[in-house]
Structure 1
Amino acid sequence: MSTGTAGRARRIVMVAAAVALTAGVTTGCEGDDKAEGDAKKPVKESASATPPEATPSNGVPPEASDPPVPPDAERPSTGKTLTKAELTQAALVTGDVPNYVVTPMQGGEETGTEKADKPDCRPLAAVINGAPEPAASAAVYRTIVDKREEGNEKQTVVTTILTSHTGGSADAVLKSVRTAVEACAGGFTTHGGDGGASTYSEVKKLPTQKVGDDAIAYQVTGAVDGAKVPLVFHVVRRGATVATFYTANFVDAETPEIPAVLVQKQSAKLP
C-alpha cells in the first residue's frame, strides 16, 4: 500500500478523525501530513486522570477501560429493507453508549474506488472503499470516538457504515466477505481510479462477536513506506441491514481494536 494509497484506504477513518477534533478529542499525528492526522490504535488512556507512575507499561489505565457488558438480548429482526431515514434512526447516537461520542461523518459520504486484481478479493476491496457489495439501496455513515481519550496521542476512531439491502443481498455481503477472507489470506493488490496501486500483504480472520444474524471480523494488512498498517473490520448482518465497523492503526503494527460494546449496541438497535 503506497503512501498515496494509504490516503485512499483511510479516507473514511480520517474524516472521522476530523470529527474527533470538533468533539474535543486531540488527534495525534503520524506520517507525511501532520495536519491530516491518522487513524489510531485504540488505547484506553487518560493522561489527565492518571499520573505517569500509575499508568501500566502498556499505557492503558484500568479505570479508562470499558466495563464488561452482558450481551443485549436481540429481538428477532423484522427483515425489512430500511430507507435512509430509517437507517439514520437506527444508527447509534451520543448517549447510547457511555463515554462515546457519535457524529455524522464530515466531508460527505464519498466512497473509494479501489478494485482488487483477484476477483475473489473484490468483496474486501469494496468494504475498504466503504461500499460493501452487493450494492446497498441506502447507506449512512457515522464516526465514533472515545471522549475519555481527550489529549492523548493515540485515540479510538471507529467508522460505522449502515447499509440496507434488498432481495437477500445482505446475506450475500457476509457470505462473499467470509469467502474472500479465506481465499485472500496471502494478500492481494488493488488499483484505484487514479491508476495508483495498493498492496495488501495478509488477510486474517479475527475473533468475532456473536451478534446479529451473522458476523465476521478480520484484518487486512497494508503498508506505508515499508511499515505495516493493519486495517480491522467487523461486519454484522441483522435482517436486511449490514453494519460495518472499521478502524486502522497507522502508528505501529499492532492490531487495533473495535470496542465490543459499540458492535453489540449497534446490532441491538437495528430493527
Structure 2
Amino acid sequence: MALKAYRPMAVAAASAAAALMAAGCSGSSGGGDPEPMSAKRLNQASLGAKEVSGYQIERASAKSAAGAGTAEADRSDCQPLAALLGSSPKPKPTRSVVNTFARTGDGKDYEGLQGMVRVATYGKGGAKGTLADLRKAGENCESGFGMKTGEGEEQKFSAVQQLAAPKLGDESAAYRLVNTSEKAPSLVAVVRTGSTLSMFFVTSLTDPQRVEMPQDLLKAQVEKVQKAEKGHATAPSGGDVEHGDAGEAGDSQDS
C-alpha cells in the first residue's frame, strides 16, 4: 500500500489501507461560500453502495480509515499535504462523510483499484481556503517531504506531482504522491462545490504503477454534491451505503 498510515478497511472486493482526508490549512480562508450543508443533506449527498456501476461502496469512519491524531510535515509549507493524509484536518469541516470504494467485475481495467471518498462541508470560507492552501503546498513541495503520522510513524514522499485537475465543480486540484518506502504512487483529487469539498484518494493493489483516477466515480459524487448544494438532494440510489462503525453520517462532526 502506498500509505502505511492508513488502517485496513473492509470493502466488498478487497481489504486495503487507503484514505483521503480534508486538506488542512493554518488560517487561509476566503469569503462568499454558501452555508454548510446539514447532516441530513450531507448524508444524502454521499454515494450509495451500488449507485455507480462497477464499484462497491461502503461507509467508514475517519479514524478507522486514517488512524488517530494529526500528521505533521517536516516543512511548514508542506503541512497542508500532511493534513490531507491525516484524520484531524485544520480547520475542521463542519461535518463530513467518509466512504471506501473498490472496483468490482472481471475486467482488467482498474483491476485492484480502491480507495476512499470524503465529502466535507465547511463554513466561513473554509472550503476555498483549504483548497487554496493545498495548491500552494503542491507547488512548494514538488521535491517531496517527510511527515510523522498521528501515531508517530515516520514517512517520506519523494515527489508530489501535479496532475490535470478534474473538470468538475467550481474548482479542483489533483496530485500524485510517491511514498519512498513503498515505491508506489497514490492519487488524490479535491473538488470544491460551493462550501463543500469532495476528496478522493486512489491506489491499486495489483499494479500500483498503473493506478488511474476513476473519472466516473468522481463525476457521480460531485454531481450528487451539486444537487445537495442546490437543495435537490435525494436518498442514495441503488441501495444505501453499507454502514461500518461510523453511524448515519460517517464521521460527521458538528463545529
Higher share in helix: 1
8 Å Cα contact 2:110/2:211 also seen in 1: no
- Structure 2: 5+ residue runs without aligned partners? 19-32, 230-255
SS in 2 for 1:136: coil
Q: CA deviation at 1:147?
A: 2.3
Q: Percent identity at matched positions?
A: 28
Structure 1 equivalent of residue 58 of structure 2: 103
Structure 1 equivalent of residue 168 of structure 2: 211
Report whether the alignment pairs 1:232 with 2:176.
no
**Count of aligned pairs:** 211
Structure 2 equivalent of residue 137 of structure 1: 94
8 Å Cα contact 2:112/2:207 also seen in 1: no
Structure 2 equivalent of residue 7 of structure 1: 4
Structure 1 equivalent of residue 78 of structure 2: 121
Q: For residues 44-77 of structure 1, what are the alpha-carbon distances to aligned partners after superposition, in whole Å with 9 as ceiling and x for unaligned?
A: xxxxxxxxxxxxxxxxxxxxxxxxxxxxxxxxxx
Structure 2 equivalent of residue 174 of structure 1: 131
Counterpart-to-counterpart distance in 2, 1:170 and 1:114 = 20
SS in 1 for 2:180: strand
Match of 1:267 among 214, 217, 222: 222
Q: For residues 131-187 of structure 1, what are the alpha-carbon distances to aligned partners after superposition, in whole Å with 9 as ceiling and x for unaligned?
A: 544211111111122221499994221210011111001001110111110000011
Q: CA RMSD in A?
A: 2.9
Report whether the alignment pairs 1:82 with 2:37.
yes
- Structure 1: 5+ residue runs without aligned partners? 28-35, 40-77
Q: CA deviation at 1:6?
A: 3.9
Q: CA deviation at 1:116?
A: 0.5
Structure 2 equivalent of residue 164 of structure 1: 121
8 Å Cα contact 2:54/2:105 also seen in 1: yes
Which amino acid in structure 2 is aligned with residue 262 of structure 1? L
- Larger Rg over CA atoms: 1
Structure 2 equivalent of residue 68 of structure 1: none
Match of 1:184 among 123, 137, 141: 141
8 Å Cα contact 2:63/2:87 also seen in 1: no
Match of 1:19 among 2, 7, 11: 11
TM-score (norm 2): 0.73
Counterpart-to-counterpart distance in 2, 1:266 and 1:6 = 24
SS in 2 for 1:158: strand
**CA, structure 1 residues 139+92, in 2 after alignment: closer, same or farther (shift >3 Å)?**
same
SS in 1 for 2:49: coil
